[in-house]
Chains A and B, each alone.
Chain A
Amino acid sequence: MGKTGIQKTPFLITVALLVVFGGLSYILRYTTVTPDRPADFEQLPLEYKDWQGEEHIFSEVTYQVLQATSTTMRSYTHPQLDNSQPGLFIGYFEDQKYGAQIHSPRHCLPGGGWGIMSHTVTTLEINGRSLPVNRLIIGARNVRQLMYYWFETRSGIITNEFALKFDLFKNALLMRPTDAAFIRLTLFLPQGKTEQEGEQVLQNFLSDFLPKIENSLPFESR
């Protein structure tokens, strides 16, 4: 055997390792566990209680960038609300493994010209239930917007992008569906409207719509 030769045992150990790990990585890469039912935004009403909703569509490019399996974007009006209307966006990703992954607003907003003025993680009390959310105030020129967003997966509600990644990793290894939803609520804060007033509007909206939102998603965790 030449100087650059290798002995039999280390060779066999290496081959065994490569076959086992390589095989596992191929399985992980090429198996998709399809959720038992898809997200269904038909179940999310446009008209509910006193709310009147309107569906909006994005440009084709946006859908291509988003790569979500299905999305809905709405704005709702309420007779007791004047000039600011809650906006709701839900993006559902049936399988996060293949490049179609949730884009966190924290990474794409600055690119869209919005500055993030504050960001906190807070827990809302909605219908006697705790709902952890990301709370953002974003601004562009002289416009301010209040935003709540969170993620839902098979494991429940997640607010942190890295936790979402870890959850994807865990679900993939457990051979569970790796689907996830991104839920975002926005409200313009015109001159004179305080953040507290805005929060009240969004929380009222959520107490009516949260059960509907979650029903439209294929996760069982309630």
Chain B
Amino acid sequence: MTNPETTAKPGINIDIKIIFILVLILAVYLPVLIDLVVDWYQDDNYSHGFLILPIAAWLIWRKRNELAETPTKMNNLGLLMAIGSLFLLIAGTAGAEYFTARVSFVGLLFSLCLYFFGWQFTRKIWFAFFFMLFMIPIPYVIYYAATFPMQLLASKVAGVVLNAIGLPLIRQGNILHIPNYTLEVAEACSGIRSLFSLLALGALFAYFTQDNKFKAVFLFLATVPIAIAGNVFRVTVTALGAHTVSIKFAEGTLHEISGLIVFVFSLILLFALGAILKWEKPEFKKLRS
């Protein structure tokens, strides 16, 4: 039996011109990309950025055989979009707006793929380009606009939950007073950190597990409430820990592993929802097949 991977040679046979263009793109975007990598390194919200490009490259690589068999056809819309992306680079550089210049990098890769190889080819790997967007930190204006409401929401819901459990509690804004302890839901606890990495993960998970487009989009969007729920869970657990065990425990051990708590909690919810969405009544399955 022949291995299909070795017989499909044309997929690996890449035109030197493409390599040249990729190198040129890297040269054009070098300052933008260096800044981006520095951000991943310095900003804990975006340390997952390092993983995005390798995963995106793999997402394309795993389709190499399928792509090799796909007829290519030039699409001039791609050229138009490439010019638009390059204008974004200029706008971002002149306005010192990192987000714009970074998005233009992903936009350019997508546009040139469309320009050279056409829609039929590009649609097979669109997700790799979409996934690359998760390596770009959102504009700080939006970040700050979202942080405060999320802090407040986390405090409010955690307050309700703790009250329901029977913990006497007074809430002032984002500060929770429990009998022996005062818990402040700080900016870092807004949940926005875990939201970014969970969104990327949710997109990947939805892409691989859901065959139905609507279900996939639904699962991806559900990442937002799930991340918020995860954060509420963390605040609740911290308050409970401070009340039932000790303040030292809440501020020490619990606080250190709370990032992990949120992540595991959110992952469980995400997997559960993914499984529910995929589940069909056995009768329907029979009818379809």
Contacts and interface: CB of A to CB of B under 8 A. Distances in A.
Instruction: Say whether A associates with B.
Output: yes
Interface of A: 1-7, 10-11, 13-15, 17-19, 21-22, 24-26, 28-29, 96-99, 101, 107-108, 110-111, 161, 165-166, 168-169, 172-173
Contacts of A7: 74
Nearest to A113: B173
A90 B15 CA distance: 57
A6 B31 contact: no
Contacts of A101: 96
B21 A18 contact: yes
Of A2, A3, A4, A96, most B-chain CB atoms within 10 Å: A4
Interface in B25-67: 25, 27-28, 31, 67
Interface of B: 10-11, 13-15, 17-18, 20-21, 24-25, 27-28, 31, 67-68, 72, 74, 79, 82-83, 86-87, 89-91, 93-97, 101, 112, 115-117, 140-141, 144-145, 147-148, 187
A197 B241 CA distance: 50
6 contacts: A4-B67, A22-B24, A22-B28, A101-B96, A107-B141, A108-B144
A165 B21 contact: no
A81 B284 CA distance: 81
A1 B15 contact: yes
Contacts of A11: 17, 21
Contact of B13 (A2, A17, A19, A99): A2
A7 B89 CA distance: 26
A25 B10 contact: no
Contact of A107 (B17, B72, B90, B144): B144
A21 B97 contact: no
A6 B15 contact: yes
B15 A21 contact: no
A29 B30 CA distance: 12
Contacts of B68: 3-4
A173 B86 CA distance: 15
Nearest to A115: B173
**Main SS at interface, chain B:** helix
B153 to A, nearest CB: 14
A169 B17 contact: no
A96 B93 CA distance: 11
A171 B67 CA distance: 45
A2 B264 CA distance: 47
Contacts of B27: 22
A19 B25 CA distance: 9
Contacts of A169: 91, 94-95
B15 A4 contact: yes
A178 B79 CA distance: 32
Given A10-B79, A107-B144, A4 B94 contact: no
Contacts of B116: 6, 10
The 3 closest A-B pairs by CB, nearest first: A22-B28, A172-B94, A169-B95
B236 to A, nearest CB: 24
A158 B17 CA distance: 48
Nearest to B71: A3
Of B14, B28, B140, B147, most A-chain CB atoms within 10 Å: B28
B119 to A, nearest CB: 15
A161 B145 CA distance: 14
Given A10-B116, A111-B144, A168 B17 contact: no
Given A4-B72, A165-B95, A18 B28 contact: yes
Nearest to B111: A14
A14 B18 CA distance: 10
Of B83, B86, B140, most A-chain CB atoms within 10 Å: B86
A15 B79 contact: no
A4 B95 contact: no
A86 B72 CA distance: 69
B28 to A, nearest CB: 3
Contacts of A161: 141
B95 A168 contact: yes
A17 B116 CA distance: 15
B129 to A, nearest CB: 17
A14 to B, nearest CB: 6
Contacts of A26: 31
A59 B90 CA distance: 36
Given A2-B10, A107-B144, A15 B95 contact: no
Contacts of B13: 2-4
A3 B96 CA distance: 40
Contacts of A108: 144
Of A17, A24, A173, most B-chain CB atoms within 10 Å: A17
